[in-house]
Amino acid sequence: MASYDFKPKGVCSRNIHIELTDDGQTIESVSFTGGCNGNLKAIGRLVKGHGVDEISGILAGNLCGNRTTSCADQLSKGLLEAREAVVR
């Protein structure tokens, strides 16, 4: 299992901890520091076991209120960054 910490921008959460399988293709777990606790815990449960590309495609572009991003959108960016770090 490979671990990666992503620093989101433009959202309430301060960190997204991502764990992927050793090949970087599948999400083992996701946890957020800060943000809307219940909603972000639910996202972590929903994405577990799914592919990075699948989840990133679903969440990319999701907005929060009048912001240009959201915690889900930032997760999509973090997943791709984490996978890149694993496969290097």
- What is this structure's pTM? 0.96
CATH dotted code for 2-87:
3.30.390
Contact 43, 55 (CB under 8 A): no
Listed by start position, the domains of the chain span 2-87
Residue ranges in the chain whose pLDDT is less than 70: none
Phi and psi at residue 20, in whole multiples of 5°? -120, 160
Retrieve residue 30's tokens: 């996701």
What's the pLDDT score for residue 60?
A: 98
Average pLDDT, the chain: 97
Burial class (CB in 10 A: 0-12, 13-18, 19+), 34: middle
- pLDDT tens digits along 22-43: 999 999 999 999 999 999 999 9
Task: In whole angstroms, give the CA distance from residue 60 to residue 56.
Answer: 6
